[in-house]
Amino acid sequence: MSEHVVVYSSHGCIPCEWVKKYLTTKGIVYKVRMVDEDAAAMADLTKLGFHGTPVTVIDGQCFPGFNQKKIEAALIAGGHMPAPATAMPSA
């Protein structure tokens, strides 16, 4: 499991499922920490300054909620996924 991408999640959290589905679809290896099952995970989330889920941590950078554009940009910047191909201008 990658420690470069961590998703703090909880049961019944629909946005958590969106984050995990997005990462899986993109082929990103990530670790899930269930804060409602693991007191240490909840303590770590609190130390990061958050109390709710989801929080996605990419290379130490935190993204609360499901913001696909910000998560994707961080994944690209960290080399976890390639940048999308850009269209070549027509001549």
Res 66 pLDDT > 90: yes
Looking at every residue in the chain, the average pLDDT score rounds to 92
Between strands 5-9 and 61-64, the pairing is unpaired
Domains and CATH numbers, the chain: 5-77 (3.40.30.10)
CA distances from 53 to 14, 78, 80, 81 (A): 10, 22, 22, 24
Within the chain, residue ranges assigned H as helices are 14-25, 39-47, 68-77
Question: Is pLDDT above 50 for 1?
Answer: no
β-strands 55-58, 5-9 pairing: antiparallel
How far apart are the C-alpha atoms of 60 and 3, rounded to whole Å?
10
Q: For 7-37, what is each residue's pLDDT tens digit?
A: 999 999 999 999 999 999 999 999 999 999 9
